[in-house]
Amino acid sequence: DATAAAEMFAGKAQIAVGDVRDAAQIEPAMRGVRFVVSAVGSNTRKDPTDNPQAVDFGGVRNLVAAARAANVEQFVLISAMGVTDPDHYLNKILDNVLLWKLKGENALRASGLGYTIVRPGGLTDEPGGRHGIRVMQGDSPEQGLIPRADVAIVCVQALGNPAAINRTLEILSDETQSPPAGTDFFAGLRPDPPAEP
pLDDT digits (tens, 9 = 90+) for 64-118: 999 999 999 999 999 999 999 999 999 999 999 999 999 999 999 999 999 999 9
Residue 182 has pLDDT above 70, yes or no: no
Query: Which of 126, 56, 62, 48 shows the shortest CA–CA distance to 90?
Result: 56
Q: For residue 140, what pLDDT is reported?
A: 83
> Cβ atoms within 10 A of the Cβ of 116, count?
29
pLDDT digits (tens, 9 = 90+) for 137-158: 999 888 899 999 999 999 999 9
pTM of this structure: 0.94
Residue 42: DSSP 8-state? -
pLDDT band with cut points at 50, 70 and 90 for residue 11: confident
